[in-house]
Amino acid sequence: MSDTQHLTTGSEKPIFPDDGVLKLYSMRFCPYAHRVHLVLDAKNLPYHSIYINLREKPEWFHQVSSSTKVPALELVKAPGNPVLIESLIICDYLDEKYPEVPLYPKDPLKKAQEKILIERFGQFITAFYRLAIHENPDQLGNTDHYAGLDIYEEELKQRGTKFFGGSSPGMLDYMIWPWCERFASLKVALGDGFELNPERFTTLIKWRDLMLQDRAVKCFYLDGKTHAQYMSSRRAGNADYNMLYNEAKRVKLE
């Protein structure tokens, strides 16, 4: 993660050596792109990261990503350099293409059940954004924002394993992690009342602490304060994509 400068309108398309290395178009604070970084890192696959300013996209970006969204993964070794979009499709592709570190269970039924739990997490993502766009907890009303998480607490408790994937994180762990990492930002932005309730989410809190020690998680980790700072810039309509880049530059100059 040496350079997190985001390319913008007017930026040239970067040229890479003909090294056969996957190219990931990303945005440093996008949780969907985060999923793909986690899977690539978990599988120890080398890749080039190309960060895109999503408010002022480079002119060439629509030719790369048919949805004009990140993540987009360019398969430089495949004929015609196809580009995959949609985080779940990309991660499933990577798991099939690079099976040395398998992330799904082998059994087709268990794999399908894992995918159902990944799909259902979408409900919580919606609730998460309702929280993340507010700065004032008084505007939030009495809704139970964490209702979508109870099934994961119960599921992990029943499995009795450290991770959903067993003794190490699997696809379900990595697909839900980007939003779980960002829980800490809700506490920073909205106050202690928005920390996960330790009685209700005992198992998930233990899981979160274990996930924080995982190598792939550490590779792309940002703390709650940093996520909160980015979200605050986004709420203000001025998403600060280059926040980390500018900070690193400032520290270097000091």
Ligand X SMILES: N[C@@H](CCC(=O)N[C@@H](CS)C(=O)NCC(=O)O)C(=O)O
Identify the CA nearest to 32 among candidates 129, 105, 103: 129
- Is residue 219 annotated as part of the catalytic site, yes or no? no
| Binding residues for ligand X (CB under 6 A) | 27, 30, 32, 54, 68-71, 86-88
Question: In whole angstroms, how close is the CB of 36 to ligand X at the nearest point?
Answer: 8
Q: What is the DSSP letter of 195?
A: S
- Catalytic residue, candidates 30, 91, 180, 219: 30
- C-beta closer to ligand X: residue 85 or 216: 85
- C-beta closer to ligand X: residue 201 or 229: 229
Alpha-carbon distance values, 158 to 64, 131, 151, 152, 154 (Å) = 43, 28, 10, 10, 6
Identify the CA nearest to 210 among candidates 164, 172, 244, 171: 164
Question: In whole angstroms, how close is the CB of 193 to ligand X at the nearest point?
Answer: 26
Question: In whole angstroms, how close is the CB of 8 to ligand X at the nearest point?
Answer: 13
State whether residue 188 is helix, strand or coil: helix
Question: In whole angstroms, how close is the CB of 50 to ligand X at the nearest point?
Answer: 13
- C-beta closer to ligand X: residue 37 or 156: 37
- C-beta closer to ligand X: residue 86 or 195: 86
Residues listed for the chain? 254
Cβ burial, residue 183 (10 Å; 0-12/13-18/19+):
buried
- C-beta closer to ligand X: residue 90 or 189: 90
Phi, psi of 166 (to 5 degrees): 110, -125
Structure tokens given for 251: 């520290």
Question: In whole angstroms, how close is the CB of 234 to ligand X at the nearest point?
Answer: 10
Cβ burial, residue 46 (10 Å; 0-12/13-18/19+):
exposed
State whether residue 43 is helix, strand or coil: coil
Q: Which residues are catalytic?
A: 30
